Chains A and B, each alone.
Chain A
């Protein structure tokens, strides 16, 4: 069975390490915060100027001056700090964030990513995504493997305008955990109950499949 959004987030959370500073994008990446292993210390960075993002506030602690990059009201954890947008992107561009998790419309075998614009349909802007993919060494893209018509989103070459060129090395989809290297997708793990054949059929870009593909564990 394909992973639910929660399971996808759970699988990504397994890549967290104690002491990490992490930036989580909007959507599925945000859910990763719910699966930080007990006892592990992780600081969440929000690019609007907060390091140490906490959970949502209660009705009486809500503060309009304290929001996350999705413009949601949040709280700050003990040890948090606030700073300007320039400082925030110095952290990001300078490679100080240990792990970045973000969504995408498409990725390709060269590690390029498209996530910010669908010509003629959707023009919302790139926000901080271009800076995040350019600045981070360690990026995980979370996305659906194919669209609702079954068309692959893992392509030989991205068709939509790029967010970043050649910068993505790991992708977790609802079907598989994939590494991108040497101009190909490499199948590392499959979602429980999902066949290798299904993954092959829904991957348009070159896919390298090892003899044994383990099922994901959470």
Chain B
């Protein structure tokens, strides 16, 4: 492969509310069995990229635990492999990363010590399948300096939380706005970039000199006329999980047969760390409708239109509707949960009642759990 991979997984977003108290967005559980970063990592390995650096910062505990071994994504190699970088204090740098460019700069030796001519940069919070080789070919074909993967959103959808770009007929990006108040187009950046490695080193070093730290504002927007920046449109599924609403909707998308088929059944596969949990168990009284149930679950009650993650216990006579129950949650008997996201490792007492009235309610319950 002619490229190395960089996954920017340091980000946090206040729009995730309580959900990122415990973890970086890239470590958010997705679709019952996965974490956000699994999608970027699987794309890397399926595109035969052998060397990948994951740049972390914000609350990386969950993420580093998830990435404790590289073998699940088939990166356990002598040549290349998976590298997890956390910010560290050095004689000439004692800050946390001040932005995406700074995160790359702090680990610039990772780029300098590689020999592959290109770098694929992606974020850890995109849910998609993509063969990066296609973009690389396009990038070379266009003689581009930077290629930005983008997707057209429906006119009806609000795109003010994305980077929005305008392309000319040659697909060259003429305009790029980050989180515009009033968007001039409905083409959004997916946060996936291809760039020549030496070009990236040069731009990053220049930015640092000028005390600029953000890849989007200080490279894409600033250099849009100077450099040949091209867009590559994808039409396949792509979703970002950086807000509670997006996170909820993305998970619920997996209840649709076409989305499940695309991610679960079609080649290539998405990989994740294997948990070795027993099969899900349904006892008498369980009534599950239109829901995803993950391994290690024990179901005694009713579940409807929901995504239930791993190792969840649902007590007798419970009713769970239109909700997401994250990993290792214990739900006591006679509990009603509707329009909620229940944070992982929670214990919900019997006879509880939660209902998101306008929007999604996030339930964080830390009660003692009595082990039977």
**Physical interaction between A and B:** no
Residues of B bordering A, CB below 8 Å = none
Spell out A's residues near B (CB within 8 Å). none
